């Protein structure tokens, strides 16, 4: 079953204009096995899209494809109407930031220094940071509530503070899309909710697209505008949480019986193993 609701060109190192990711009929094989099969969807800026599905379903591979780190065997991945692989890497990095599942250890930097690294695609190796760079760094620190500990070493932060510092770094970097592979995996339920709420606000207030991989279905349903469900590399459903959070869809995605209830106060759906 597939359910789906389903730009200007960039030249050289010009800053990208606002636009979408369009994934069309993507296939990828590894070791003779299909990792992604006929995956298609479109995601616009100003929306939060959650990718959900069981372990090994292809979520990280799909996100790496959006980031341009993995090329499809067939099919297309377009950003601003242009194939991701055809982009100048620095120009792409100004539009799209990718935070992988395993974070590099930059723990000897202060939080402000870490966030400053996000500006590299803008000033490059030879130019000094501009006023605009400094403004973007301070704004990202402010939006993520990192200002109070901006001068502390990353190594001294709690897990939640660290996660926010990395989010600040990608926020300082990219103007159009943040690709976040399990950004809340190490967080308790309160920090998960706060981080997802922050990403949702950043997305809606600034017109930024956020694509994130998340395992907690209830958190995904609460904070995402769209959910893309993957099973064995295939899209089972791509739509709003109201449409996707159905027992038949979720049971198919995870291959176990799942019941869905409506939150008594908030009205959104939550899923439980039946």
Ligand X SMILES: Nc1ncnc2c1ncn2[C@@H]1O[C@H](COP(=O)(O)OP(=O)(O)OP(=O)(O)O)[C@@H](O)[C@H]1O
Q: Are 141 and 147 within 8 A, CB to CB?
A: yes
Q: Are 105 and 49 within 8 A, CB to CB?
A: no
CB of 102 to ligand X, least distance (A): 10
Q: Does 61 bind ligand X (CB under 6 A)?
A: yes
Q: Does 255 bind ligand X (CB under 6 A)?
A: no
Binder of ligand X out of 8, 56, 81, 257 (CB under 6 A): 56
> DSSP label at 165?
H
CB of 164 to ligand X, least distance (A): 22
Binder of ligand X out of 29, 60, 185, 251 (CB under 6 A): 60
- Decide: helix, strand or coil at residue 80: coil
Binder of ligand X out of 30, 135, 201, 263 (CB under 6 A): 30
Binder of ligand X out of 59, 149, 175, 222 (CB under 6 A): 59
Tokens standing for residue 252: 């198919």
Q: Please report how the helices 131-143 and 159-173 are oriented relative to each other, as an axis angle in degrees rounded to 10.
A: 140
Binder of ligand X out of 11, 12, 32, 55 (CB under 6 A): 55
Q: Are 187 and 159 within 8 A, CB to CB?
A: yes
CB of 62 to ligand X, least distance (A): 7
Binding residues for ligand X, rule: CB under 6 A, are 30-31, 35, 53, 55-61
């Amino acid at each position: 079953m597939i359910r789906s609701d389903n730009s200007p060109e960039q030249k050289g190192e010009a800053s990208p204009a606002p636009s979408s990711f369009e994934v069309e009929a993507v296939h990828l094989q590894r070791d003779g096995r299909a990792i992604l099969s006929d995956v298609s969807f479109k995601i616009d800026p100003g929306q939060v899209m959650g990718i959900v599905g069981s372990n090994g379903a292809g979520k990280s591979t799909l996100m790496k494809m959006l980031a341009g780190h993995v090329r499809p065997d067939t099919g297309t991945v377009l950003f601003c109407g242009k194939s991701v692989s055809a982009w100048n890497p620095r120009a792409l990095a100004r539009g799209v930031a990718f935070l992988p599942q395993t974070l590099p250890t930059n723990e000897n930097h202060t939080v402000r220094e870490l966030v400053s690294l996000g500006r590299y695609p803008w000033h490059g190796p030879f130019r000094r940071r501009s006023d605009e760079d400094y403004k973007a760094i301070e704004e990202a620190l402010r939006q993520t509530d990192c200002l109070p500990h901006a001068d502390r070493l990353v190594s001294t932060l709690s897990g939640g503070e660290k996660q926010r510092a990395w989010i600040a770094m990608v926020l300082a970097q990219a103007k159009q899309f943040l690709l976040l592979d399990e950004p809340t995996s190490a967080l308790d339920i309160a920090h998960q909710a706060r981080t997802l709420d922050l990403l949702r606000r950043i997305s809606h207030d600034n017109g930024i697209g956020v694509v994130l991989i998340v395992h907690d279905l209830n958190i995904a349903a609460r904070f995402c505008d769209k959910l893309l469900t993957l099973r064995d590399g295939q899209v089972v459903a791509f739509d709003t949480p109201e449409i996707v959070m159905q027992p038949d869809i979720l049971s198919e995605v995870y291959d176990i019986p799942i019941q869905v209830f409506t939150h008594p106060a908030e009205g959104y759906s939550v899923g439980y193993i039946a």
